Amino acid sequence: MAYRHVPRLSPAEVQALPAAINTREACGILGTQPNTLQRLVRQGRIPASKVGSRLLYSKGTICRLAGIDCEGA
């Protein structure tokens, strides 16, 4: 699999996200790659919900893990 750069999200972009975010958005908040995030989910270190074939994350949880304030999360 090819390395994919996931750009960091600005605070305004984070605030505009819905309460349930996908892997790419979570990686943009945390500053990690999708493979790293998926490994942390498998290890039980980050909670996620499976919807069909996709993983969804709570924006509030991801923001807390990143150490940033997400109003309304």
* pLDDT at residue 11, rounded to an integer: 87
What is the spatial distance between Cα 44 and Cα 42, in angstroms, rounded to a whole number? 5
**What is the value of pTM for the model shown?**
0.86
Cα of 26 vs its chain's centroid, Å: 1
Task: Establish if 71 belongs to a structural domain.
Answer: no
CA distances from 63 to 18, 25, 27 (A): 12, 11, 11
Q: Looking at residue 7, what is its pLDDT?
A: 86
Based on the structure, what is the number of domains in the chain? 1
pLDDT(1) > 90: no
Residue 1, domain member (yes or no): no
Is 22 among the domain residues?
yes
The pLDDT tens digits of the residues spanning 2-59 come to 556 788 898 889 999 999 999 999 999 999 999 999 999 999 999 999 999 999 999 9
Q: Give pLDDT, residue 33.
A: 92
What's the CATH number where 57 sits? 1.10.10.10
CB burial readout 18-39, b (16+ within 10 A) else e = eeebbbebbbbbbebebeebbe
Domain that residue 52 falls in: 11-66
Q: Does residue 15 sit within a domain?
A: yes
44 found inside a domain: yes
| Residue 64 in tokens | 């807390």
